[in-house]
Amino acid sequence: MKVSTFGSDSSEKSDFDNAICLTGYGRFHYQIIAVCALSILVVGFQNGILSYIFPAAQCELHLTSFQQGLLNVAFLAGGTISCFVWGILADMVGRRSVLIATHLLNASVTILMSTNPYTGSLVACRFLNGFFIGGPGSIIYSYFAEFQPPKYRTSSVCYCGLFFTVAWLLLPLLAHLVLPLTIEVTVGSLFVLTPWRLFLILVALPEILVGLWLIRMPESPKFYVAKGCPRKALVVLRRMYATNSGRSPEYFPVKNLITERNNEIGSGDKMMCQGRVARVLKEMGQQAKSLFVPPLLGITVLTSSIMFANMFGMFGLGLWLPELFIRFEQFQTLHPNASISVRELSSLPPPSKNLSCSPSLDASVIRSTVAMGVTSLLFNGLASYVSTKTTARVITMVTMLLGGVSAGLIYWMRSSMQNLVLACVFQATMIASNMSTAGIAVDLFPTKVNGIAVCMVVCAGRIGAVVSNFVFGFLMDKNCELPIFIVTAVVILGGCLCFVVPIPKNREVIDMASSFGKNDMEISVVSGKFR
C-alpha cells in the first residue's frame, strides 16, 4: 500500500464520512430533500396513472381488457430492461446527469402519450415510460443517500420514500378533479384534448420541474471520491458547508481529502488508448461482473431475493385488492345482510364497467385508495423514525413478516371492511419494506458500483412483479387460494432472509475490499483548492 500526497498543505485532512459531517445539516440538505422527494413523487405518479386513465380512455380508444393488461406489462417490461443501463451509466458518468436526462425524456414521452390516438403507440409510450422512469426509480436513492452523513443515510432514504406514498394520495384527488370535466378541445387535426389527456399533461409538469431543478444541483461528492476526483468532491463539500452555515466556502475545515482508489495505471493507460465506445463497454462489463463475484456475490443474491419477494407481493396481490374491494361493495349492495368468502367472490363475474365516455370515480374507490394511502404514509413515517433506532434489515424483516401474515388472512375475510383493513396493513408494510430494502442496498454496496447495484436489486423486484401478475392472471378466477398463499409464502420467506443480511461495515472498508480483483491500493491525500 502506498501513500501519496498531492498539494502543499496536508495538515487538515479527513476521510469522506467525517468531511460530510463537517458540512453541517441545513439549507443545502433541505434542497436535496425537496428535489429528491419530488423525483420520487413523479415516480409514484408513473406507477399509478394507468389505474385512473383506463376508465376514461376505454370508451374513446375502445380498449379491451387484453390491451389494458398489455399497457401494464409494457410499463413493467420497460422498467426491467432499463435497470442495467441506467445503473451502469450512473456509476460511469454520474447520478445527476442520468437523473436529468431520464426525467426530461420521460416527461416528453408522457406528453406525447397525451396526444396519441392509437392503442399500439400508447403501448410503445408506456414501454418508454417504464424504460426512462426506471432510472430515477432506483438511482435517486443513491444520489440522495450520498449527500447524507453516515448517521442519517438509512433513515433519510426511508423518509424520502414517504413521497412515493404521497403520490398515491395525490393521484386519486387529481383524477377526481380533472377526469369528470366535460372538455373537448380540438388541437388542429391531430387530436382532441379530453380530460384524461389533460390529466397526463398535468402529471408530466412536475417531472419537467424536477429535471430543470436537478440542473442547478451538484453531482454527488461521494461519486467523485469513488471516481478518484477528490478535488471535485471538495468543491461540492465546500458548497454544502457554505449553504448550510452561511459562511464563505474557504472556511470549510477540511483542506485535504483522504480517498481509497485502485492503483491501475497500466490498465487505465491501455483503456485510454482504446476508442470511447470500447472504454465504456469495458467499464460496464467490469462493473456488472463485480456484482457476481466475491465479496459482492452473496450481497447481490440476498438483496435481490428480498426485493423480488417484496414486489412479488406488492404488485401481485397489491394490484388485485382494489378490484376485490369493488366486488365486495357490489355484492353487499345487492345482498345487504349476507356475507361471502373470497373463494366464492372470485367465482362471480367481474364488476360491471362504466362504458360512458364521461367517467366518474366511484366514491368507495376514492375512500379505499385514500385510506390505504394515509395508512401507508403514517406507517412509513413510523418506520422512518424507528430506522434511527435500529437497522434497515430489522425494519425490512418485521414489515415483510407482517405483510406476509396479512396476505394470508385475506383468504378468510368476508366483508369489504375486513378487506380494507387488511389491504391497508398489507400495502403499508410492503411499501415500508420496499424502501428499507433499498436502504440495505445503499448501505452494503460500495460507492463505485452503488448505482448499478441498486438498479440490479430493483430489477429483481420488477421481475417478481411480472411473475406475480402472471400467477394471478392464471389462477385467480379458478383457484384463488393458490396465488394468495403463494404470495404469503414468498413474502414471509423474503422476511426470513433478512436474518442473514450482514451488518454494514465502514464505507471505506467496503470500497477497498470490493476493488475489481486488485490488491494494490493507493491512499491519496489530495489538496483541493476552491475555484
pLDDT tens for the chain, 531 residues: list them: 443 333 334 347 788 888 899 998 889 999 999 999 999 999 989 887 877 776 667 667 776 656 766 777 788 888 888 877 887 788 888 899 999 999 999 999 999 988 877 778 888 999 999 999 988 887 888 899 889 888 777 677 767 767 887 887 888 788 888 877 887 777 666 667 888 888 999 999 999 999 999 999 999 998 888 888 888 999 999 999 999 999 998 888 888 887 654 433 233 333 333 445 566 566 666 767 788 888 888 888 999 999 999 989 887 777 666 666 666 766 777 777 777 766 666 666 555 544 444 555 556 666 777 888 888 888 888 887 887 788 888 899 999 999 999 988 888 877 777 778 888 899 889 988 887 887 788 778 887 777 778 778 888 888 888 788 777 767 766 677 788 889 999 999 999 999 888 876 554 444 444 444 443 333 333 333 333
Question: Going edge to edge, which strands form the sheet with 521-527?
Answer: 2-6, 521-527, 256-262, 13-14
Q: For 218, which DSSP code? A: P
SS3 262: strand
Count the neighbouring beta carbons within 10 Å of the beta carbon of residue 121: 13
pLDDT (0 to 100) of residue 123: 87
pLDDT (0 to 100) of residue 239: 94
Estimate the crossing angle of helix 416-444 against helix 119-145, to 10 degrees: 50
**C-alpha cell of 275?**
476508442
CA dist., res. 232 & res. 64, Å (int)? 54
CA dist., res. 209 & res. 153, Å (int)? 25
Structural domains of the chain ordered from first start: 24-217+291-347+357-500 (1.20.1250.20)
**Nearest in space to 386 (alpha carbons), one of 403, 375, 370, 398:** 398
pLDDT (0 to 100) of residue 370: 80
What does R_g of the chain's alpha carbons equal in angstroms?
24
**C-alpha cell of 415?**
366483508
**C-alpha cell of 318?**
397489491
pLDDT (0 to 100) of residue 493: 96
**C-alpha cell of 109?**
414521452
CA dist., res. 499 & res. 396, Å (int)? 10
Which element (helix H / strand E) includes 191? strand 191-193
Asked if 91 and 284 touch (Cβ cutoff 8 Å), the reply is no
CA dist., res. 306 & res. 503, Å (int)? 16
How many residues comprise the chain?
A: 531
CA dist., res. 438 & res. 349, Å (int)? 39
